[in-house]
Amino acid sequence: MWVLPLIGYAGVLFGFGFLTLATASGLYYLSELVEEHTVFAKKLLSRLIYSIIALQVLLTVLDGFPVSLSLLSIGSHAVYAGNLRYFPIVRLTDPVFLLSCVLVILNHFLWFHHFSTPPVPSSSRNRIGSRYDYSNIPSFTDIASFFGICVWLVPFAMFVSLSAGENVLPSMGSEYATGDSGRSSSLTDSRGSGRDPQGKRSAKGLVKAAIDGASLWVGESGEALGLWRADKRRF
């Protein structure tokens, strides 16, 4: 067979493209929702962080998860909560934000190493070094669910929710420094048109900024390669 495998490869490429577009559209829509309901989003993120910390404590006490990694995960979520001080505004050079990015990667690799380390061989009677009971080894579904909820959920939700500080209104600089709650109302008033009464741009979510930047790059690259004209580009 020659044609059918080619059709299969083409189907995989089309499926990957549609999945990518659907994911980007969903993230863009979630970012829009957060911009319209910032107070609710902040409360939801706070409760989500506390819930995951409680889950981590239960996993340590009841399921025998390693204390050191559990303390690292709990401390990481406490640092994530520090990004909510001026929610939804965040400066990309803020030490708390940079530390959060480092902790996300560190948690991923340490927990991955923890679950990927094989237990003591079954022929051995001494199971002191084994991480889990042989009758209750975590399945792939259990591990994937743990990573999705306890490792990735809060950083992913904050990435969708936060707005880059470089895109805020110039008059909001002092409010960011003082944590003035009046910032939320000024943002809400200007979001209807995407601009403030003076015509200046309002805050833009990190996801929206990334998607808009990618769209602009694709458009400019297509123009440079002659794939389409500037007046007929649609992004």
The more confident residue out of 64 and 169 is 64
At 210, the pLDDT band (50, 70, 90 cuts) reads: low
In a domain, 18, yes or no: no
Token pair of 29 as six digits: 């829509």
Q: Say how many domains are in the chain.
A: 2
- Are 106 and 221 found together in one domain? no
Q: Give the alpha-carbon dihedral of 24, 29, 171, 184, to 10 degrees.
A: -140
At 164, the pLDDT band (50, 70, 90 cuts) reads: low
Q: What percentage of residues in the chain have a pLDDT greater than 70? A: 61
- Are 230 and 141 found together in one domain? no
Predicted confidence at residue 211, as pLDDT, reads 65
At 117, the pLDDT band (50, 70, 90 cuts) reads: confident
Per-residue buried b or exposed e for 128-162, using 16+ beta carbons within 10 Å of the residue's own CB: eebbeeeeeeeeeeeeeebbeebbeebbebbbbbb
Please determine, for residue 58, whether its predicted confidence score (pLDDT) is greater than 90.
yes
Please determine, for residue 171, whether its predicted confidence score (pLDDT) is greater than 50.
no
Please determine, for residue 189, whether its predicted confidence score (pLDDT) is greater than 50.
no
- Are 30 and 143 found together in one domain? yes
Mean pLDDT, residues 45-69 taken together: 92
Cα–Cα distances in Å, from 131 out to 74, 95, 128?
A: 20, 35, 8
- Provide the 10 A C-beta neighbour count for residue 207: 22
Please determine, for residue 49, whether its predicted confidence score (pLDDT) is greater than 90.
yes
Find the domain containing 224 and state its range: 207-235
- Are 155 and 221 found together in one domain? no
In a domain, 123, yes or no: no
- Are 150 and 233 found together in one domain? no
Mean pLDDT, residues 106-125 taken together: 74
Please determine, for residue 156, whether its predicted confidence score (pLDDT) is greater than 50.
yes
Per-residue buried b or exposed e for 22-41, using 16+ beta carbons within 10 Å of the residue's own CB: eeeeebbebbeebbeebeeb
Kindly report, residue by residue over 11-32, the tens digit of the pLDDT. 999 998 888 888 878 877 887 7
Predicted confidence at residue 56, as pLDDT, reads 94
